Structure 1
Amino acid sequence: MKSWFSWLPMTMFLAVIWVLLADMPLGMGTLAFAGAASLIIVLMSRRLRPFLARPRRIWVILKLAGIVLADTFQSNVAAVKIILGYPKIEYTPGFVSVPLTLRDPHGLAILAAIINYAPGTLWAGFPESGEYVQLHILDLPQETDWAAFITERYEKPLKEIFE
């Protein structure tokens, strides 16, 4: 029974997006087409996903979302200061390798998105071994600080959620 309902949230989400984006009057025809089209898309795309994510610990997810929002805001402010040159700040761009213990592909995808959300940081490389991730940092005062920052603030909660 669980497998039948695993596709329902995405189907409903796609149907709502279709109705909101369609430049048509809201009626039974629009709703029927949105529902049918989204159901077909979801059922056909299930074969593209070898396995589904199984996130756990909703409180850790909410805490991580708050941390990401705060860090992204702080990073935006720092990037604007660097770009506008206020005050005259010397910055040193560089690359840093962060060792990873996270192995879940969904967790790694979210980690990549989190790192790329903040201006000034970029996911620059990921070897097949998955032992580390290479990041480009706009202002890199010390490598060890960044590795510990990424590991403690992002990787640790993602391991709790996905592993």
Structure 2
Amino acid sequence: MTTAIILLSTLLLDPLAPDLCADVYLDADNKPITDANGTAVSRFCAQTGADAPVWDDDVCCTFGAVGAQCTGAPPDSACAAGKRLYCEFGELLADYSVVCYQPLPETCASGCTGVTIMAPDYIQEEALCCYNGDCYELSIPVEENCPGELSWCWWGYMKEDGTVDCYD
């Protein structure tokens, strides 16, 4: 019985850390900015493809003009600096910082409009908003809803008209 009380009090006194990626862009009415499927864009997690590496642990984050700077959280103590937050997807970088990710569905999973044998020289990976058969670069900070679907393109090329072709 004593063990159960100690375990229960530990759980009640040590709540789960808030999810870093749950902090999303909001519109003027303080409602999440979303795509047509209700997917919101995280303010502090980097967008990436669906196969994001799993971190599944807490991080210690400080916040500044460039976003969140995070490090791995100590297992049984408070953060020396910053706020303790949960990160489901992420990875440890060479400088010992942790980047947390928001996975998005792959643009090419539902078919790419820019199918070609040889991709152009200027290729970049980026989050896209796709609707009516066209895809557009998701600009950060996000200021308006995406009328279609948010997705991730590993091989994107922006054309002169502002649309983006995504290559397999």
TM over 0.5: no
| The structure with more helix, counted as a fraction of residues | 1
| The structure with more strand, counted as a fraction of residues | 2
Greater C-alpha Rg: 1
Q: Normalised by the size of structure 2, how large is the TM-score?
A: 0.25
